[in-house]
Each structure stands twice: as structure tokens, then as C-alpha cells.
Amino acid sequence: MAQRYVRVQNQDGQVYYGLLQLSLDVQVLDAPPWMQGQPTDIILAADSYQILAPCAPSKIVAIGKNYADHAAEMKSDVPAEPLIFMKPTTAIIASEEEILYPPQSQRVDYEGELALVIGDRACNCTPEESQTKIWGYTIANDVTARDLQSKDGQWTRAKGFDTFCPLGPWIVRELNPGARLQTFLNDDVKPVQSACIDQMVFSPDFLVSYISQVMTLLPGDVVLTGTPVGVGGLNLGDKVRVEIEGIGRLENIVVAR
Ligand code: MG
């Protein structure tokens, strides 16, 4: 199994980056791994920590309509160039934390997505240079208040509620380009979303390059690469699980805010 890079909090509230062992113990690193963090002698036992989102970005940049069949289900064309928007970092929650359904919305959707974690400052990069800026990969759910997205005409409110960016549970460094992304609701065996990440319109390298022409990406920043076809509504009590082959599964329950 690939090395899994986690961020955890111990019982005293201390936050650490670390390596998740098969035993589920965590070997603590002395810095974020993309800042050359090295393993220390500190081991956190499996029952002594809480898992956090795997990084603490300065910003989350997300991409709209980056799978052709999702653009079609939204009754729109694939954009000629990437469509970027942002989510506030306060929207981030870890796997197993609760998505809070806001009273302002009657329609909250899941959007399973591959997330890129930036390891090195990226400004005006070519797609080729961008390859070296992507440190690793994790899973995100770009939770969206669909009714507010159409009503507002721009997306800050619809995408920006607290808890609307489940992220994790950990980061891996390598990903098969043909890895499958799937989203499941509750205990249904049939996924509501299922696509290979190589069906993206704009590739991860291209996206990082494109964004870096606009704003500097910093170590630990996150890029959400868009969702495939099959988006749909969440109800109170739903359990939503996004899986990407070679990474793992991100699971959250929906409760009233
Ligand atoms: Mg999305």
C-alpha cells in the first residue's frame, strides 16, 4: 500500500503531520511532508488521536465543469478554458465529520472530486513545471447548495458554507492516471457517480499551470479538479462516501445546521 500522509490532533489538542502505519499508529513528522518534514521518534497510538483534513491550505481553488458529461447534465457546454472559483478554508472538515445542511437551502448536492495538494510555490508555471508542484492527491466533496448557486448567479454562498469541503482522509503521492472515482450514498452498492479521472477535460498539470497564471499557489494549497456526471441531492441523515482507487474513502454524514 502506498504511504499515507495524515494530519492528526492528539488528546492535548496538539496538531501533527505524520505517516499512517498499517497498525493505524501514526509516526509523527517534524514538519509538513512537503516542507521536508522528517520522521521523529514520536508514535501516536491508534486510539490516541483524531484525524484532521490532511493539510491546512491558504486557499482552495476549485474547477467547474471539468468533465464533459457533468457539464451536459448541468445543461451547459464544457468551458473553452478552465472555470475557476474558490471555497473558503473554513469549509474544510475531515473524513467522518458532519456536513451541516444550512437552513437557507432546500437543495444541497454532493460532488465527489480528486483534490491536488500543492507542495511548492507555483507562480506562472508551465504545465510541465506544474507536474513538480503537485505534491500529492487526496479526496474532496465539493458540497454545493444548488438552489443558491442558480439564484445568486455567482457561487460564493452556494459553495462556501461551513462544512462544505470534506477533505481527506490522507494524501498519497502517486496516483494511477486511470484511477476510478466513485460516490456512494448510504449503504447502496451502486455508485451515484463513477468515472475515471483521466476523463477530465483539463488535466491536473494544465489546471495548476492555468491557476498559477492568476494567483500564486502556496505549499499546502488545494485544487479541486471538478466532479463527474451523477451529482444529486443530499438529505438529512444521509451518509455520503467518495472513493478514489489508490487513495481511499472520504465519508461524512449530513445533519441539520
Ligand atoms: Mg465541483
What is the spatial distance between Cα 83 and Cα 207, in angstroms, rounded to a whole number? Answer: 10
HSE of 11 in the Cβ direction (CA atoms, 13 Å)? 5
Q: Are 231 and 158 in contact (CB under 8 A)?
A: no
Q: Same domain for 21 and 75?
A: no
Distance between Cα 164 and ligand 1 center (Å): 11
What is the spatial distance between Cα 150 and Cα 191, in angstroms, rounded to a whole number? Answer: 26
Q: Same domain for 109 and 70?
A: yes
Contacts of 109 (CB under 8 A, 6+ apart): 143, 144, 145, 146, 231, 232, 233, 234
Last residue of a domain, one of 30, 51, 72: 51
pLDDT value at 1 more than 80: no
Q: Name residue, grid cell 505524520.
A: 18
Q: Same domain for 134 and 13?
A: no
Q: Which residue in 125, 120, 133 sits closest to 36, CA to CA?
A: 120
Distance between Cα 181 and ligand 1 center (Å): 13
Give the torsion sign (CA, 92, 136, 139, 228): positive
Q: Same domain for 121 and 12?
A: no
Residue 53 carries which side chain, given as an amino acid letter? A
Q: Same domain for 135 and 180?
A: yes
Cα of 232 vs its chain's centroid, Å:
18
HSE of 16 in the Cβ direction (CA atoms, 13 Å)? 24
The number of distinct structural domains making up the chain is 2
Q: Same domain for 106 and 135?
A: yes
Distance between Cα 193 and ligand 1 center (Å): 13
What is the spatial distance between Cα 234 and Cα 221, in angstroms, rounded to a whole number? Answer: 27
Q: Same domain for 237 and 115?
A: yes
Q: Same domain for 79 and 204?
A: yes
Q: H-helix or E-strand containing 42?
A: strand 39-44
Distance between Cα 36 and ligand 1 center (Å): 31
Q: What is the pLDDT of residues 93-131, one digit of tens each?
A: 999 999 999 999 999 999 999 999 999 999 999 999 999
Domain range holding 11?
Answer: 4-51
Report the percentage of the chain scoring pLDDT > 90. Answer: 94
How confident is the model over 209-236, as a mean pLDDT? 98
pTM value?
A: 0.97
Q: Same domain for 230 and 160?
A: yes
CA distances from 77 to 65, 66, 67, 87 (A): 8, 10, 10, 23
Q: Is 16 helix (H, G, I), strand (E, B) or coil?
A: strand
Distance between Cα 112 and ligand 1 center (Å): 7
pLDDT value at 67 more than 90: yes
Cell of residue 143, nine digits: 458540497
Distance between Cα 228 and ligand 1 center (Å): 9
How confident is the model over 173-179, as a mean pLDDT? 95
Distance between Cα 159 and ligand 1 center (Å): 9
Q: What confidence category does residue 74 fall into, taking pLDDT thresholds of 50, 70 and 90?
A: confident
- Where residue 124 sits, what CATH number does that domain have? 3.90.850.10
Q: Same domain for 23 and 132?
A: no
Q: Same domain for 30 and 130?
A: no
Q: What confidence category does residue 78 fall into, taking pLDDT thresholds of 50, 70 and 90?
A: confident
Q: Same domain for 148 and 238?
A: yes
